[in-house]
Structure 1
Amino acid sequence: MIERTIPEEGHHHVESVAAFTGPQPGASTTYTIMLDDVPIDLRYDDRGFDTTVVFFHAAITKAVRRYPVFSGATFSEDVAANRLFISDPSLYVDSRIKLGWYAGSSRQPKLQDALTEIISRFDSPDRRLVLFGASGGGFASLYYSTHFSGSIAVPVNPQTTIRNYVPVIVNRYLNYAWDGLPVGELPVCTDVIELYRRPVTHSVLYVQNSGDSDHMEHHYAPFFDVLPEGHKVESHLVDAGEGHVPPKRALLGKILKDVVGS
């Protein structure tokens, strides 16, 4: 298991997903929720707002030195919302896994169901959820938002079909998270395009770098091609440069502010 650094103050250890009843009092609290002997780590910043933004991180890089990975805090500091950061537990299964799409592993084959249940503990009729993520985290935002009516997904340069991403990265995930099982045989959702072929009860602001030709061709276009009449998906194209490059943090912060304030 990868070594994790979690502050003791404000930290809550929960033995199972079923035992997690929701956030505890505190401006900023962390949670370790056990699922199949692998920890799911969360951080929740309760700022007293009626909107909560759920953050899913992208693939980790060599710059990441500390786990869990709570990404998005800097550019969302001025956003008028509570913040829920989720670290993908598949990173703990094998140190060679750098991206897991929050889709689970052979150690946690029911992760998608479990995270849906966990996120629901931060939702209520008088609150609104915004689910934000870039790249692999964008896939997660598109997937998990389908379970929350009235929510808003903000994927940035997302993969919409895992099998269409960089083969070496996909194969690394399959080999070390699923013992080499082919993507088509995984017992989880790996293609959100299929979920959006029918009308959904939430909204999507799909942010895409127009200079990312691979994602434009293999993820963006196939996704928009299947949307039904009356869909609730809005495209927001950004020229961020050539390749799989995200918009600048300042722009992401502005987009998130606009979504929360809308």
Structure 2
Amino acid sequence: MRMPRRAVKNLSFKEFSSVEEFRRHWDSKSSSAISIEDKLPIHLHWTNRQAENTVICFSAASSKVREVPFWTGRGVTSALDANVLLVSDPSMILDRTLSLGWYAGSLEQPDLIETLTEVFRVVSQGTRPIFFGASAGGWAALKYAARLDGAVAVAVNPQVDIARYKYFPYYLRKAWKTEDGSECLPFEGNVARDYAEGNDTSVVYVQNEGDSHHFIEHFTTFKSTCGNPDKLIELLPDLGPGHVAPTKESLIQILETTIASRSASELRTNLSCIEIKSSGVNNEVKVSGSSFRSSEALNRRYPVLLEKKYNLSPSIRVCTVGIKSPVHLLAKAYAIEVHFDGVEIEKAIARKLGLSWSAGLHCAFFYSQEAPGRAWTTYDSFRIPEAATGVHIVVRQWRQEGLGENRKDSVHLYCKFDSFQIEA
């Protein structure tokens, strides 16, 4: 089921019809929101401070993005002695459930990396570009810094090989319409290889030691591959378990120090004096709902026990689902997905129909209620969208406790007067 695209905010953009027009007519003197027409629109926000450095900010993943552009970095850059370019990932417009795209492009915009590289080259002309981002934005900071002479990357808990990250399969499906893996993409997903041949870019790599996945799977990969260790500055604070970022104040200190330092050796010395404090926030928790996992991992954790599809006559506008178990059934034993043929459903519509919405499952759903043994338990009815021609029910095992082996629970879909069994 294809989800609607994100809408574009009603902002006052300085508009360019192409990247070529932007290159020819870009004027850095005024600060403004910028829209560059491409296969997908490129949205930027430029702040000119007539400085010698230009900080280019990329966003991490977020499940709360309703419209584009989605810019982050205003807070940490507001007082810097630097020009600032905020960059919204064009791929975020593709699907409302897509929470990250690494600024790596899509099937609709396969040459995004080349395109943005040219944009950044134009914007940072005559200044030193400093690319800044965390997590998925950290990958982008590393990727683009490697492509511009004299650049610096400040990457915080970045992914290095995006194919090793659990949200990558979902990005593949939504952005590239494939599940074939990273080898099918027109770019190198392991950004460490961009630095393997002694790239002269200075890298400030901030990695929380308590984030075991990013430390082992990503940081060690980058460190072992980096061909110019003199340009790699490692900052390895212990910020607590999980994908925990430094405080805003710590990030500001890191950026201020990077701006003030003129060489890699000076930067290394100056950064060694900074105490990096923990924000205490596991940023991965925020996105786990919307960019859940690969379908294989999801099905392993919450196995599909039953799927049924039914055609709906125009007269059927309400469905009710009931469950009967031979033994006492705990609440939330099952999650029941509800899909409709011929209609695209989003969160607001699901609620109007009397259903909940799962950003993790990317569909309308409800949990099974507690049910006494051998008795039917019925649920609040959900309405059928007017244009729906069919309903597709998917029953997942949601919790393990209380579900013994070789039991058979029954599900009844009242709109069809039909019942079927779950093999639990």
SS at match of 1:206: strand
- Kindly indicate whether the alpha-carbon contact (under 8 Å) linking 1:240 and 1:248 is maintained by their aligned counterparts in 2: no
Q: CA deviation at 1:7?
A: 2.4
Equivalent-residue separation in structure 2 for 1:231 and 1:16 (angstroms): 39
Instruction: Identify the match of residue 49 of structure 2 among 31, 39, 47.
Output: 47
- Kindly indicate whether the alpha-carbon contact (under 8 Å) linking 2:63 and 2:97 is maintained by their aligned counterparts in 1: no
Q: Deviation per CA, 1:76-95, whole angstroms, max 9, x where unpaired? A: 21211110000000000111
Q: CA deviation at 1:201?
A: 1.9
Q: CA deviation at 1:228?
A: 2.4
- Match status 1:151 vs 2:151: yes
- Kindly indicate whether the alpha-carbon contact (under 8 Å) linking 1:103 and 1:189 is maintained by their aligned counterparts in 2: no
Equivalent-residue separation in structure 2 for 1:95 and 1:106 (angstroms): 17
2:412 aligned partner: none
Aligned residue identity for 1:171: P
- Kindly indicate whether the alpha-carbon contact (under 8 Å) linking 1:23 and 1:44 is maintained by their aligned counterparts in 2: no
2:109 aligned partner: 108
Equivalent-residue separation in structure 2 for 1:123 and 1:48 (angstroms): 11
What TM-score does the superposition give when structure 1 sets the normalisation length?
0.93
Equivalent-residue separation in structure 1 for 2:238 and 2:248 (angstroms): 14
2:6 aligned partner: 2
- Kindly indicate whether the alpha-carbon contact (under 8 Å) linking 1:96 and 1:172 is maintained by their aligned counterparts in 2: no
Q: Give matches, 1:216-235, under 5 Å.
A: 216-228=215-227, 230-235=229-234
Q: CA RMSD in A?
A: 1.5
Q: CA deviation at 1:189?
A: 2.2
- Kindly indicate whether the alpha-carbon contact (under 8 Å) linking 1:53 and 1:81 is maintained by their aligned counterparts in 2: yes
Aligned residue identity for 2:18: S
Q: CA deviation at 1:238?
A: 1.9
Between the aligned residues of both structures, percent identity stands at: 36
- Kindly indicate whether the alpha-carbon contact (under 8 Å) linking 2:28 and 2:123 is maintained by their aligned counterparts in 1: no
1:129 aligned partner: 129
Q: 1:51 to 1:29 in 2, by over 3 A?
A: same
User: How many residues are matched?
Assistant: 255
Equivalent-residue separation in structure 1 for 2:26 and 2:250 (angstroms): 30
Which of structures 1 and 2 has the larger relative contact order (alpha carbons within 8 angstroms, sep 6+)? 1
- Kindly indicate whether the alpha-carbon contact (under 8 Å) linking 2:199 and 2:227 is maintained by their aligned counterparts in 1: no
Q: 1:121 to 1:210 in 2, by over 3 A?
A: same
Q: 1:27 to 1:241 in 2, by over 3 A?
A: farther
Q: Give matches, 1:83-232, under 5 Å.
A: 83-124=84-125, 126-166=126-166, 169-180=167-178, 181-228=180-227, 230-232=229-231
Q: CA deviation at 1:254?
A: 0.7
Equivalent-residue separation in structure 2 for 1:82 and 1:165 (angstroms): 32
Q: CA deviation at 1:110?
A: 0.3
Equivalent-residue separation in structure 1 for 2:118 and 2:108 (angstroms): 18
Q: 1:252 to 1:6 in 2, by over 3 A?
A: farther
Q: Deviation per CA, 1:26-62, whole angstroms, max 9, x where unpaired? A: 54211111112x1110000001111100000000123
SS at match of 1:20: helix
Q: CA deviation at 1:203?
A: 0.5
Equivalent-residue separation in structure 2 for 1:65 and 1:239 (angstroms): 33
More strand by share: 2
Q: Give matches, 1:6-17, under 5 Å.
A: 6-8=10-12, 11-17=13-19
- Kindly indicate whether the alpha-carbon contact (under 8 Å) linking 1:132 and 1:138 is maintained by their aligned counterparts in 2: yes
Return structure 1 stretches of 4+ with deviation > 6 angstroms: none
1:35 aligned partner: 38
Equivalent-residue separation in structure 2 for 1:214 and 1:190 (angstroms): 17
Q: 1:229 to 1:122 in 2, by over 3 A?
A: closer
Q: Which runs of 5+ in 2 are unaligned?
A: 262-424
Q: Which runs of 5+ in 1 are unaligned?
A: none
2:250 aligned partner: 251
SS at match of 1:75: helix
More displaced, 201-210 or 15-24? 15-24
Q: CA deviation at 1:25?
A: 5.4
Equivalent-residue separation in structure 1 for 2:242 and 2:196 (angstroms): 27
Equivalent-residue separation in structure 1 for 2:138 and 2:145 (angstroms): 11
Q: CA deviation at 1:123?
A: 2.0
Equivalent-residue separation in structure 1 for 2:120 and 2:109 (angstroms): 17
Q: CA deviation at 1:182?
A: 2.0
Aligned residue identity for 1:18: E
What TM-score does the superposition give when structure 2 sets the normalisation length?
0.58
Aligned residue identity for 1:80: D
